[in-house]
Structure 1
């Protein structure tokens, strides 16, 4: 398999995760797309850096924002390492980090990198603009 086809296959796996798992809540597909030994190098607060911790985060986000979905602006791949720039959107209808539902529409940007090996996501690194998200939900600066 050429480097180009490995990259295209890896991008398709990451896109399916973004669109079908995160955006569609297909957790059976999550189990197929993520390797059992998956490692999240940048887990969110209170989450374990493994497959179970990432799934828990996905479920928390969908519970707080039932219409949670992303618009992928671009993806780049170097072999099986895929970098994605996207904007998440949703409506705050459930508790999120202690903030009661506000009904507000939110959006925040994220850049992440995921390594795909043999069609499964094995590693993740990410940076999300959670400060912007918390501001949109009316959280006071500094969490006070």
Structure 2
């Protein structure tokens, strides 16, 4: 398969994860999109760097923010490695990292790189503006 086809197929897998799993809570699809030997090189605090840890994080986010979803601003590829810049949105209706439900609407930016092999996400690296998220939930003083 030409590299451009590999890149487009990889982008589609990552987009489905963002829109249908993270945004829609389709955990059966999560199982189909993630390799069993998936490795998260930047796991969130308290999460294991494997497929189970990623699923636990997704479920935690959707439990705390039932309307959790992302707006993808752009995706770039290098072969089977997909980098995505997106903004997550949601309303806190459940506990999140020990913070009781606030009813506040939040948004925070994330950049993820995901490697897709044979149609499955096999690796992840990412950074998220969690400081901004914690400010919006009232867990950190605002910088303003």
What's the TM-score, normalizing by structure 2? 0.97
2:24 matches 1:21: no
Q: Tell me the distance in 2 between the aligned counterparts of 1:60 and 1:127.
A: 18
User: Which residue is equivalent to 1:112?
Assistant: 112
Listed one character per residue, the Cα deviations across residues 57-95 of structure 1 (whole Å, up to 9, x for unaligned) are 000000000000000000000110000000000000000
User: Which residue is equivalent to 1:126?
Assistant: 126
Which stretches in structure 1 are left out of the alignment for 5+ residues?
none
Aligned residues: 141
Question: Where do 1:1-144 residues align within 5 Å?
Answer: 1-141=1-141
Q: Tell me the distance in 1 between the aligned counterparts of 2:29 and 2:96.
A: 24
Q: Tell me the distance in 2 between the aligned counterparts of 1:105 and 1:68.
A: 10
3-state SS of 2:110 partner: strand
Note the C-alpha offset of 1:25.
0.1
